Amino acid sequence: MQRIGFIIPEGFQMLALAPQTVFEYANMCAGKAIYDVRVLSEKGRLLRSTLGIALQTERFSGLRFDTLIFGGTNEASPRLTPGLLNFARRALKTSRRVASMCTGAFVLAEAGLLDGRRATTHWAFSRELQRRFPKAKVEEDRILSSTALCGLRQAPQLLLIWPWQWSRRIWVLMSHGLQPVCWSCTSAAREGS
């Protein structure tokens, strides 16, 4: 089973959790849990979103993940602690993949993880990311989607153990509803095993 961690700060955007849907549907289509998805924070406590919705998180200390996704806030200056930055640095060595949603890129940049690497963030903050972190190769014009759901649209690429065709089917499932497409996805998964 692949362990996926979503790291969120106080004042997180609800949209930062949207890619979890991909893993939910992958589990549904497989008919079993193949992804263990966790919502994490440094202290493992109740956090509030910008909308005011509270979400209980687990403490990230000592846990290992196949993929870690750092969520963002509505600002380019999230509250960063030494613990969060050290966790991000360790994650680059212990996780298969480290990613971010929107302004979560500022956490990775502050930890030095974007130095010399191509990066992007929400278009409204891309110039700020480049200005504050000149060692990062910020692709300001890199638009993955013209909607606010680009993280959700790109999330099927995060599926670690599914062939690309299945990832596409899961995206179709998410786009068009649950009924017949999920059956087709489950059938394809069984045929391919």
Could you tell me the domains of the chain?
2-161 (3.40.50.880)
Three-state DSSP at 30 gives helix
Q: Is the pTM here over 0.85, yes or no?
A: no
Task: Write out pLDDT tens, residues 52-76.
Answer: 999 999 999 778 899 898 988 887 7
What pLDDT was estimated at residue 38?
Answer: 95
Of 191, 175, 120, 160, the C-alpha closest to 26 is 160
pLDDT surpasses 60 at 89: yes
- Residue pair 69/4 in contact (Cβ under 8 Å)? The answer is yes
What pLDDT was estimated at residue 159?
Answer: 52
What pLDDT was estimated at residue 147?
Answer: 34
